[in-house]
């Protein structure tokens, strides 16, 4: 008997991270990490969960858009949808009236991301595999068939993608075995939020070094003097061998995984992130003035849509050995295509929710592999770490064949709300998701939804006012 999609439900889930300064940066000073969450139901017990990420107000608008996109799936037979996820993605994009309010950008596009991710979650659950394993087990032809190719064939054709995937296919098994054993490289942002005191920055940096991390990111852009001060605090800790975990020796700063990253004497790397606050000339001069703290790259130095601006910044900073990274707010594959074609970035940072789900992510991973740009996904938000480990595993095992220079962001917030939370091993690397029933790892505990749903969840009704008053009194 065929299985039909029968309906869906959405939830506006918000967490009060603004009370503790988590997630704060030069542009986003008041962040309540939030999930616009959707569950797809079928005529069987098969379900699919998905979400997209916001930082608070407007989450309800995204939930409204999710309802409009998800309605296109009602009555559809799931195996037909699964048979060509690339065509299914095109179908979800194709409502002309909904497309008009994008097209393929903004609220309607991130809503599509939540729905597409939920459908991929359902696909993986139906095959009793975590999402990454579902895709890694695809033939090259099946992976191409699952990818969104419209508007990017001037950068990579289906035939080129197929050839690239076939070249990597023979060695997939070895890479899968290796990453299961050692984990996927991670970097930590949790110590680098702008809203933290110097003491908290130092404490969290020491904790991160002790946990095995050797790549660290800090937010910049509000105050040059403060940025230099915090950068020196972080550098003084990550460059000092005394803080390394027992049994860990300093790494070679000029080793193949670190060369060109401005690594310090222990092999530790510092990255900086401006979250779009500068015009192009300002970005160049500001980042030059931070040369002393030896950043590997500046992330989001200017408007995320400014391809030529990023290219100009990259060219100007190259003599200072500082690279350029962006992609957290790159709203579709076409923007990434142009960033690659213009040689505007050293590091590609996909976002699992800003792009419209796995099918569009696959198109960017394929282009990045062709252009030789490492992919280091953004994961600074609720649920994003759970998502992106799957995407990085797909990239390493099936597409790029490399993780030596890659690092995947890790933020130690809110994982307890997920049934299958991500985890980090003692060497600062993501463990590989292994449960056959976890799909895309994004299913949230019902009690978390009930407590934090806006505006009637028990936390917002009964606890928030008192907690906010307490935080204000302490500051």
Residue 260 CB partners (closer than 8 Å, separation 6+): 296, 321, 323
C-beta atoms surrounding 77 within 10 Å: 14
- Compute and round to an integer the Cα radius of gyration of the chain: 21
Q: Are 44 and 213 in contact (CB under 8 A)?
A: no
φ, ψ of residue 387 to 5 degrees: the values are -70, -55
Which tokens is 473 given?
Answer: 């009194």
SS (H, E, C) 157-218: CHHHHHHHHHHHHCCHHHHHHHHHHHCEEEEECCCCCCCCCHHHHHHHHHHHHHCCCCEEEE
Query: Which of 465, 433, 474 has the alpha carbon at shortest distance from 135?
Result: 433
Distance CA 452, CA 468 (A): 15
47 burial type by CB count under 10 A (0-12 exposed, 13-18 middle, 19+ buried): middle
Which tokens is 216 given?
Answer: 């660290």
378 is catalytic: yes
Question: From its phi and psi, is residue 339 left (phi > 0), alpha (psi between -120 and 50) or beta?
Answer: alpha
C-beta atoms surrounding 312 within 10 Å: 19
Query: Which of 105, 59, 53 has the alpha carbon at shortest distance from 386?
Result: 53
Q: Which of 49, 168, 215, 219 is catalytic?
A: 219
Residue 354 CB partners (closer than 8 Å, separation 6+): 109, 110, 113, 328, 329, 330, 331, 378
Q: Which of 378, 390, 413, 417 is catalytic?
A: 378
166 is catalytic: no
Tell me the catalytic residues: 219, 378
């Amino acid at each position: 008997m065929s299985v039909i999609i029968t309906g869906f439900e959405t939830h506006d889930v918000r967490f009060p991270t603004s009370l503790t300064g988590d997630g704060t940066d030069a542009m986003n000073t008041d962040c309540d990490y939030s999930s616009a969450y959707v569950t797809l139901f079928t005529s069987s017990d098969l379900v699919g969960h998905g979400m997209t990420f916001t930082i608070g107000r407007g989450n309800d608008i995204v939930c409204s858009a999710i309802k409009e996109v998800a309605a296109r799936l009602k009555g559809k037979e799931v195996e037909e949808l699964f048979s060509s996820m690339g065509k299914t993605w095109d179908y979800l994009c194709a409502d002309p009236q909904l497309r008009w309010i994008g097209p393929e950008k903004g609220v309607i596009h991130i809503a599509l991301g939540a729905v597409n991710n939920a459908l991929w979650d359902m696909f993986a659950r139906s095959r009793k595999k975590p999402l990454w394993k579902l895709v890694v087990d695809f033939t090259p032809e099946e992976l191409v068939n699952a990818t969104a190719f419209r508007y990017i064939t001037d950068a990579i054709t289906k035939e080129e993608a197929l050839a690239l995937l076939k070249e990597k296919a023979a060695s997939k098994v070895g890479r899968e075995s290796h990453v299961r054993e050692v984990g996927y490289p991670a970097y930590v942002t949790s110590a680098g939020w702008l809203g933290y005191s110097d003491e908290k920055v130092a404490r969290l940096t020491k904790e991160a070094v002790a946990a095995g991390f050797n790549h660290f990111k800090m937010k910049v852009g509000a105050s040059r003097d403060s940025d230099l001060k915090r950068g020196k605090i972080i550098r003084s800790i990550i460059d000092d061998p005394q803080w390394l975990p027992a049994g860990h020796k300093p790494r070679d700063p000029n080793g193949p995984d670190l060369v060109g990253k401005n690594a310090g004497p222990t092999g530790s790397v510092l990255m900086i992130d401006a979250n779009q606050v500068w015009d192009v000339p300002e970005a160049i001069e500001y980042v030059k003035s931070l040369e002393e703290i030896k950043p590997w790259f500046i992330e989001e130095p200017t408007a995320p849509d400014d391809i030529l601006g990023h290219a100009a910044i990259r060219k100007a900073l190259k003599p200072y050995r500082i690279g350029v990274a962006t992609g957290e707010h790159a709203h579709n594959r076409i923007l990434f295509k142009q960033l690659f074609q213009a040689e505007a970035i050293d590091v590609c940072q996909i976002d699992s929710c800003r792009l419209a789900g796995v099918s569009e992510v696959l198109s960017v991973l394929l282009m990045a592999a062709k252009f030789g740009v490492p992919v280091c996904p953004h994961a600074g938000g609720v649920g994003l770490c759970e998502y992106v480990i799957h995407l990085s595993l797909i990239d390493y095992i099936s597409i790029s064949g490399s993780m030596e220079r890659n690092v995947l962001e890790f933020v130690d917030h809110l994982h307890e709300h997920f049934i299958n939370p991500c985890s980090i091993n003692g060497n600062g690397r993501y463990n590989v998701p292994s449960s056959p029933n976890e799909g895309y790892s994004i299913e949230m505990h019902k009690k978390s939804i009930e407590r934090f749903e806006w505006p009637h969840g028990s936390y917002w009704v009964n606890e928030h006012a008192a907690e906010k008053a307490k935080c204000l009194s302490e500051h």
